[in-house]
Amino acid sequence: MLYHWYEFSHAAVRPARAAAGNTQAFFENPFNPLAHTSMGRHAVAACEVFERTTRRYGRPTFGVDWTSVDGKDVAVREDVVWQRPFCRLVRFGRAITTERANRDPKILIVAPMSGHYATLLRGTIERFLPDHEVYITDWQDARTIPLAAGRFDLDTYIDYMIELFTHFGGDVHVFAVCQPAVPVMAAISLMEEDGDPNVPATLTLAGGPLDTRINPTAVNELAEEKSIDWFASNAIEVVPWTNLGYGRSVYPGFLQLTGFMTMNLDRHMSAHKDLFLHLVYGDCDSAEKHRSFYDEYLSVMDLTAEFYLQTIDTVFIRHALPKGEMRHRGRRVDTGAICRVPIMTIEGEMDDITGIGQCRAAHAMTPSLSKHLKTHFEVKGVGHYGIFNGSRFRNEIAPRITQFVRAYDSRAAMIAQMPVAAESIAKPAAHGSDCEISDVAFTFAPANDATPDPMAARLKQRCERSDTNACDGVELSSAEEEDDISGLLMLAPFRMWALASQMMIEGVFGPRRESGV
């Protein structure tokens, strides 16, 4: 029923969104004298904040229209070159000659299937395009896939990986970001055991949870504390009517998003207050930066229930792959069979989603692979998001990946030394806080805010009470537990809506005044 309530809440707020849109248009009209007043700017800013926090975000576009090759700007075109019901392989074709394109290695970015769209890796694509032929797995929203398309579980994921590697005929370098590490390793292991000539030329793993027994994080501990039946009862919903995937059991994307937002609700509230101030004072650059990030961050997709539950059980509860107990359609997956594919692992020192050592475990899991074919890079001061996006990725991580790729690509000479640019320092915002919201957006570690939001504090206290009850052995009834979880999940977005509503009212009618009584 939670999914139905979520859909109902968005439907219920539509009239208010329409009113806010009309109010914003009224005050933005250049022929309206109020548009040039303080009240007009406050009204426009408040209405935009309200509209953005109550919007149902759809799938974003990649928006990669151009890149630079050999110092010249060239156009980029998206082409779908392989497709299955749950995934599309997108090629970013550069407007250069075939002869020039063939000189660059092909890199396949395996995007995480963990709630956000592949467009989250837009910056990753842009960084690789000047020196590579870039492809990415564009996973589809389970909510939009009819039941007639069949199931999609971890075994299907591995099948897709084998098909993709075969599609390239071995002429591809794989960059797996976070979640895909396990199915990609499994697919390569099976292909190596079969002596398949289509294995990738290299494999780069960034923040992959290969062995979650090493330095377990809060995510890992939660999975071990709860049974698979608990996840099936509390995290799985049925897609409501009017959606193409009506009747399909899924792990809703809004649950994953709410989990991220609730842990750092103070920062998200501050970010939207800052957006209001940026709009009022005309700080267009900061406002656009906020829009760009949240348009992506708030766009989420559903995962099939069978894939989600099988991943939780295999990766986080049973640790099947590092133990040598993982099976693919009844066949044992032996990572010790990998002996031809060079492996590079990347970890962030501050990553609290995939702990230090969990990704590096790939080296211990591949005893048949020569040591000189193994590389590891730990990035100091970088969290989970920073190992595949942002300035540190562009300046420090991507150049090393390019060097690693070209070292094992027959078409490109080895680069003796890849220059690493100095990290740029972002200019502080003219108004509002200097918080970089992306620093805490993809983390379950609570931020240490100086002025926490009162409602956010109460939400966290409620979470702590639930944890205390669990530690003390206090058993909650299924109804109480479901009510507690549902309340936590719905209070975060409603708190954002309440803030936006308050801003809209105060923007139009002026700030609320205390009576002093």
Distance in angstroms (rounded) separating the CA atoms of residues 341 and 360: 15
Distance in angstroms (rounded) separating the CA atoms of residues 265 and 282: 25
Written as one letter, the residue type at 336 is G
Distance in angstroms (rounded) separating the CA atoms of residues 215 and 123: 29
pTM, two decimal places:
0.85
Helices (H) and strands (E) in the chain, counts: 20, 14
**Three-state DSSP state, 323:** helix
Distance in angstroms (rounded) separating the CA atoms of residues 85 and 238: 19
pLDDT tens per residue, range 445-481: 554 444 455 544 554 555 545 444 544 444 545 555 5
Give start and end residues of each alpha helix (H) in 142-251.
154-168, 181-193, 218-225, 228-234
Phi-psi region of 119 (alpha: psi -120 to 50; beta: other; left: phi over 0): alpha
| Tokens coding 336 | 């010790």
What angle, rounded to 10 degrees, do the helices at 2-12 and 14-28 form?
30
Q: What is the 3-state secondary structure (H, E, C) of 315-370?
A: HHHCCHHHHCCCEECCEECCHHHCCCCCEEEEEECCCCCCCCCCCCHHHHCCCCCC
Sheet with strand 237-238: strands edge to edge: 237-238, 249-251, 303-304
Q: Is 22 exposed, middle or buried (0-12, 13-18, 19+ CB in 10 A)?
A: exposed
Q: How many CB atoms lie within 10 A of CB 339?
A: 14
> Average pLDDT per run of 10 along the chain, which is 517 residues long?
87 91 93 91 92 90 95 96 98 95 95 94 95 97 96 98 97 97 98 97 97 92 90 94 94 89 82 91 92 92 97 96 97 98 97 94 98 96 92 94 92 50 38 47 52 50 49 49 49 60 62 46
Residue 135 DSSP symbol: E
Distance in angstroms (rounded) separating the CA atoms of residues 131 and 240: 44
In the chain, the N- to C-terminal Cα span, in Å, equals 44
Distance in angstroms (rounded) separating the CA atoms of residues 324 and 129: 37
Distance in angstroms (rounded) separating the CA atoms of residues 492 and 484: 13
Q: Where does 70-233+304-407 sit in CATH, by number?
A: 3.40.50.1820
CB 49 within 8 A of CB 39: no
Contacts for 161-165 with beta carbons within 8 Å, 24 or more apart?
161/110, 161/186, 161/187, 162/187, 162/190, 162/191, 163/82, 163/84, 164/82, 164/89, 164/108, 164/137, 165/191, 165/198, 165/199, 165/200
| Tokens coding 504 | 């809209």
Distance in angstroms (rounded) separating the CA atoms of residues 67 and 74: 6
CB 132 within 8 A of CB 411: no
Query: Looking up tokens 């995937």, which residue turns up?
Result: 245
Nearest to 295 by CA among 478, 55, 90: 55
Q: Which residues of the chain does CATH 3.40.50.1820 include?
A: 70-233+304-407
CB 216 within 8 A of CB 224: yes
Written as one letter, the residue type at 402 is T
Distance in angstroms (rounded) separating the CA atoms of residues 202 and 168: 13
